[in-house]
Structure 1
Amino acid sequence: MAEAVLLAEAKKRPNLNLKIDSAGTGAYHTGEKADPRAIADSRTISTCKQHGIPCPSIARKVRDSDFTDFDYILAMDQSK
């Protein structure tokens, strides 16, 4: 969902040359669509739909080349 929101915001600023991607630290879900828990959570779906934000991402693992291809790498994890 974070990638989808950032992509939607970037579209509002076409003068910026941004390359946005999303990847995980493990290859557990490589090639799969969005996390089924997020899809099952009706709040996630309704929030994205309410703001017209599609979530078409396919999972992949972080690659070594990401550290040269991107200027910034933002890490997120569940916190309690």
Structure 2
Amino acid sequence: MPAPRHRHGDLERRISEADAYLQIMIDLVSKMSTRVSELADPHEKSKGQVILDHSNAMLDNIKHSIVLLQIAKVLNAVYFIAYNTTVLTV
């Protein structure tokens, strides 16, 4: 059974919120990348690079998650329309 209308709007709001947080994180990782590249000490630079690599992997996972949520939102709408059409014609 499809989700009620208020849940669909809630999903859209939460996806938008997650996307906004993602943009903030992208900016922070970009600043961190600049800072790591400016480090003079090779030991500190390697530590910073490890953190940066993990941060970029995390960003990729979050991006994929948001895309999957957007796909789920569209599929939910399609199933909702199909369900309502079936119920109305039966």
Normalization by structure 1: what TM-score? 0.29
The structure that has the greater radius of gyration is: 2
TM-score (norm 2): 0.26
Pick the structure with more helix per residue: 2
Q: Which has the higher contact order (CA 8 A, sep 6+)?
A: 2
